[in-house]
Amino acid sequence: MGLALKEETLPKEKKKNLSNQDLYDVVIIGGGPAGLTAGIYLSRARMNAVLIEKALPGGQAILTEKIENYPGFPEGVGGPELMQKIEEQALKFGLRIEYGEVKEIKNQLNNRVKLIQAEQKIYQTLAIIVASGAEAKKLGIPGEEELRGKGVSYCGTCDAPFFQDKDVVVVGGGDTAIEEALYLAKFAREVTVVHRRGRLRATKILQERAFENKKIKFIWDSVLTSIKGQSKVEGVFLKNLKTGVEKEISCQGVFLFVGYSPNTKFLEGIVQLDEKKYIITDSEMKTSQEGVYACGDVRSKNLRQIITACGEGASAAFNVEKYIEESKGIAY
């Protein structure tokens, strides 16, 4: 059984503006690899679909300098380049893309039509594909929020040029952290990777490259306790988790890659989420709520990659198309 969607409670004047002409077959929330792929499939199927994106199409992928594990590109491909091509393909088949942040989802009273409340617009739809992705987690330590944009960053690919010949700290040990450390090493004088464990979690080929790079050094079994600086980053304080010893190191930049949090705040109480707030689906991308599907990094799963996001977007679109065909036989 799915969780109950909130019943529609719009003012009368807004109800009057919602006609059958405003009714979409499906609304896609999020324009990353999963959402855009779903858009390609739905547009080719001539579904009346619209994609809502709160920032720029491409998702986290546009922040990646080079993608080496996407099939068909033996020499690798730039994240922005790949996502631009996918977006162009979706637009070619007629996908409509609009911009805004989704705030709430509701059911219209006594029928299966869903309402999506965005910042400046309300959408009526028979089905929803949630592909809202995830965003970088915060450490929540002193100095992090105060110095954000003043040396604290969550995107090395975006901000590396600002740290030419400077010392930077990278926090994390997964693929993203090491990929970003390698990119930062092209600009910075020295990159110090701080990891809370005694070994990296990143893919072996990335580890090999990092260990071979003379600009990159490692501090193991340690965490940041605070970030020092007034108007800009001046250093960080570290604590060794094994010895308890604390120390300060000087740096001008701090890049944090300690995981991601799913963008599901607008879905709490609507679909079933796991303990980390990711959306639980079945193999057909169905959520616990009828007519609501999910794909990409926002799903509860083990592997979050561009290729899996694209595959899930295709699967979600295929199953939504079947759902829409069945739904249109029901009076609304």
Residues noted as catalytic: 155, 158-159
Answer left, alpha or beta for residue 318, where phi above 0 means left and psi between -120 and 50 means alpha.
Answer: alpha
DSSP single-letter state for residue 329: T
Buried b (16+ CB within 10 A) or exposed e, 43-72: bebebbbbbbbeeebbbbbbbbbbbeebee
Query: Which candidate, 239, 16, 237, 264, places its Cα nearest to that of 124?
Result: 16
Backbone angles phi, psi at 99, to 5 degrees: -120, 140
Strand stretches in 178-278, DSSP E: 190-194, 216-219, 222-229, 233-240, 246-250, 253-256, 260-262
